[in-house]
Amino acid sequence: MNKKNIGGGQFLIVNYHVSKKDAELAQGSRTLDPISQNLTKTFNSNIYVKFIPDNVTEEQLRKKFTFAEDAKIISLKLNSSVKKINDVEVKSQYAYIMYDTVANAQRAIQRFD
């Protein structure tokens, strides 16, 4: 959806969210301490996948999202949830996948978007 033409010469821009606290830290010092830099890299190397069919296993998901030899998954957590919508239980699965690098996480988003 990023850079999608929405008509009238306007484009939709999709970008990472930067919290007010992080923006203030970056403005004040222009460099984050090593711990904050590491947390930022870890946060950016995580992806969230939703609407996974109930019959998909963690192993199948890992195989699908290891799309290249150099794209290493550090952790994968598959969760399920049940919601009631109009007295009907709706089951779904979602996953958090952490890649070894931010670049691999971005490639996964581009590949599966």
Query: CB atoms < 10 A from the CB of 34, how many?
Result: 8
From CA 64, how far away is CA 110, in angstroms rounded? 14
Tell me the β-bridge partners of 88. 85
Q: What are phi and psi for residue 14, nearest 5 degrees? A: -115, 130
Q: Which of 15-19, 25-29, 84-88, 109-113 has the lowest mean pLDDT?
A: 25-29
Question: Does the pLDDT at position 83 exceed 90?
Answer: no
76 close to 99: Cβ distance less than 8 angstroms: no
> Going by CATH, does the domain composed of 4-112 fall within 3.40.50.2300?
no
Q: Read off the pLDDT of residues 18-42 as tens digits, 9 standing for 90 and up.
A: 777 666 666 555 555 666 666 666 6
pLDDT at 109 (0 to 100): 87
